[in-house]
Structure 1
Amino acid sequence: MSSAIQYNNDSADVEGNVISLNDQGVEEVSDRLLASAARLSRNAMTEIDWSLPMEPDKHGCSPEWSSLYGTDYWNELTDEQRVSLTRHEFASIMCIGIWFEMVLQELVLRDQYLGEYHSTEFQFALVEVADECRHSLMFSKASEKMVGKSYRPNKLVGRLGKVFKYVAKNEVAYAGILVAEEVLDVFQRGCMRDDRVLPFIRTVNEIHVLEEARHMKYAREQVRESMQGVGWFRRKLSALVVSMGAYMIVANLVRPQAYADAGLDKGRAYGEAAHNEHFHSMIRSSCTHLMEFLDEVGLLTKPALRYYRRAHMI
C-alpha cells in the first residue's frame, strides 16, 4: 500500500507535511492541533459537488482493497460487477464509520463534561467532535449518492457499542477511539490517490485522512497520559477490552448484505471473504504502526493478541 502521508507519532497534512508532536503532553499537543485545524480543515459539503453524475466505470475503493480481491469469486466477476461490489463494500465501511464516530463523540464529550473550559485540550476536544459530525454527514451523503443504502453493525455489536460508550474511560476510551479510526484510515489511505476510484470518494478519503491524523495524535497522547502508573490488572483488562472492540469493528466493516445488494451470492461471498489471505495481509501490513504504539504503551498483551490475530491486524 502506498501513501504520501506520514502518521507514526506525528500529525500530517494531506501532502505529507509533518507536524512534529513527539514528546509533548496533551495540552501542548492540543495547542498545536488547534493551529493545524485552523489552517487545514476542509468541508465536504462545500468542496464536493454532490449533484455531479458518477462515472459508471469508477470504483468505490481500489479493487485491491475489496474483501474479495484475489478470490475465485472475484475472478468470475465482470468489470461491472466489480465496480458495484466495491461501491457497496465502501458504503458499508463508511456506514460503520458513522456508527463508531457517534460512539467517539459521546466518549469525548463525556470526558470533557466538567473539564477546564479555558484549556486548549477542551477546545481541541470540541474541534474533534465538530469534525466528527462533519465526517458522519460526509459519509452519509457519500453512501446515499453511491448506493442509496445504509449499513449497520449486527444487533449484538450495536448493543455492545452502547455499553462501551457508557462505561469506557481513560485509556480504554481513547485506545478504542484510536483503533477504530486507524482501521478506517488504512482503507482510505490505500484508495485516495487511485484514479480508478470515484473522484468524490477520493476527496472524501483525503478530507478524512487529513483530519483524522490530528484526532489520532490526540488519542495517542490521551492514552499515554492515562497509562502512566497503571497497575498490572488494569493494564491487562484495558488491553483485552480494546482488542475485543477492535475485533468487532473489523468483523463488521463489510456487512453481508452489501454483497447481496451488489448482486452477489451473499453466503458464498461472505465465506470467501472470511478466508481471503490477500485482504487479511492488506489489513495486517497497514496496522503495523498501530500495533507498535499499543505495544509501546503496554496494551499489546498475550490475551489481546488473540483478538488482533482473529481480526488479522497482526
Structure 2
Amino acid sequence: MTAAIERDDAEANIVSMKDVGTEQVSERLLRSAARLSRNAMTEIDWSLPMDPEKYGCSPEWSSLYGTDYWNELTDEQRVNLTRHEFASIMCIGIWFEMILNEMVLRDQYVGDYHSSEFQFALVEIADECRHSQMFAKASEKMVGTSYHPHPKVAKLGKAFKVLAGSEVAYAGILVAEEVLDVFQRGCMRDERVLPFVRTVNEIHVLEESRHMKFAREQVRESVADIGWFRRQFSALSVAAGAYLIVTSLIQPQAYADAGLDVPRAMAERRENSHFHSMIRSSCGHLMEFLDEVGLLTKPAMRYYRKAHML
C-alpha cells in the first residue's frame, strides 16, 4: 500500500503542464479518488488486541521526547504518553475537519453542479466525514478518551468557519493538513507504532494528498487578482488560525490522562527544541507555498514563529 500512496502522491501533488486551473486539477483528483479511496471501518479489524509495547506515534514525535521528563519515564509510560498524545491530535483533527466541511460546503453553495470542482468538493467532504469517524474509532480504541480544544479556542473556531472564505478558508485547510502529513508519513512506516494506527495514518496521508492539491489550486485562484489590503488581512487571518490549530494539537488533559505532572509537562514542552524543530520540519512545504502566493507577510510570520512553524 505504501507504493500506492507514493503513486497517488505523485499524481496529486505534481502539477502537470496539462492541468491548468481548478477544473482540470479536479478532474484528475476525481479519477484518483475513484481508484484509490479506502474505508478504515472495513479495512481495519478493530477487535484485535493492542500490543502493550507499541507506541501511539513515533517516540521522536512526542512533545516531550528529548526532555529530562522523557528520560525519567519508563518504557511503559512513554508508550502510554504517545498514545494519549496521538489521541489528542486525532480528536483535534476531528474538530478541524468539522470546520473544514462547513467551509467547503459554504464555498460550493449553489455552485456548478456539473463541474468537476463541485463534485470533487463533495468527495472531499465525504472523505473528511470518514476520516473523522476513523479518528474517533482509533482514539476510542487506543485510550477511550475524547479531547477538545480549549473553550475559547472552540469559540474562535466557530467564528473562523463563519467568517473565513476563499483563500483564508483553503489556506487554513492546508495549514492543518500539511502539518499532519509529515507527522503521519513518519509514523505510518514505523514498526514501533501500533499497526492499526499505522493504517489510519496511511489512509489519511493517501486521501489528504488530494485534498491539499485541491486547496492549493483554490488558493492560487483566489489570490490571483486581490489587492494589497486583502492580501495582508488574509495572510494574518491564516497565520492566526494556524497558531490556534498547532498549539491545540496536544491538550494538557492528555498529559494528565497519561499520569504525568501537567504543569511540568507543559513547561518542558514549551522549552523542547527537538519538538519545535519537528514542527518546523513539517511546515517547510507549507511556508514555501504561502510565500509563493504572497500570504507569508511579516506580520503573519510572527504568528508562525510563535507556534514554531517557521
SS at match of 2:5: coil
TM-score relative to the length of structure 1: 0.95
1:117 corresponds, among 110, 113, 118, to: 113
* CA distance in 2: counterparts of 1:264 and 1:179, whole angstroms: 29
Identity %: 76
Residue 150 of structure 1 deviates from its aligned partner by: 0.4
Q: Find the aligned partners of 2:151 and 2:181 in 1 and give their Cα distance.
A: 24
In structure 2, distance between residues paired with 1:187 and 1:206: 11
Q: Tell me what 1:261 maps to.
A: 257
Q: Distance in 1 between matches of 2:95 and 2:278?
A: 23
Residue correspondence of structure 1 range 54-65 to structure 2 within 5 A? 54-65=50-61
> Are 2:43 and 1:47 aligned?
yes
Q: Retained in 1: the 8 A contact 2:173–2:215? A: yes
Give per-residue Cα distances to partners, 1:255-301, cap 9 Å, x unaligned.
Answer: 00100100110110011011100000011112111100000000000
- 2:274 aligned residue: 278
What's the TM-score once normalised by structure 2's chain length?
0.96
Aligned twin of 2:168: 172
- How far apart are 1:313 and its partner, in Å? 0.7
Q: How far did residue 186 of structure 1 move? A: 2.2
Structure 1 residue 22: deviation in Å?
4.1
Query: 1:187 Cα deviation (Å)?
Result: 1.6
- Counterpart in the other structure of 2:237: 241
Aligned to 1:158: 154
Contact map agreement 1:192 1:203 (CA 8 A) in 2 = yes
Q: Match of 1:14?
A: 5
Runs of 4+ deviating beyond 4 Å: none
Q: 2:178·2:282 contact (CA, 8 Å) conserved in 1?
A: no
Amino acid at match of 1:119: S
Answering whether residue 74 of structure 2 is matched by residue 78 of structure 1, we say yes
Where does residue 10 of structure 1 map in the other structure? none
Instruction: Name which of 18, 21, 25 aligns with 1:25.
Output: 21
Q: Which is richer in helix?
A: 2
Q: 1:202 aligns with which of 190, 194, 198?
A: 198
Paired letter, 1:66: S
Counterpart pick for 1:192 among 172, 188, 191? 188
Segments of 5+ residues of structure 2 without an aligned counterpart are: none
Q: Give matches, 1:208-219, under 5 Å.
A: 208-219=204-215
Deviation of 1:16 after TM superposition, in Å, equals: 4.2
Question: Shift in Å at residue 185 of structure 1?
Answer: 1.7
1:312 aligns to 2:303 (yes or no): no
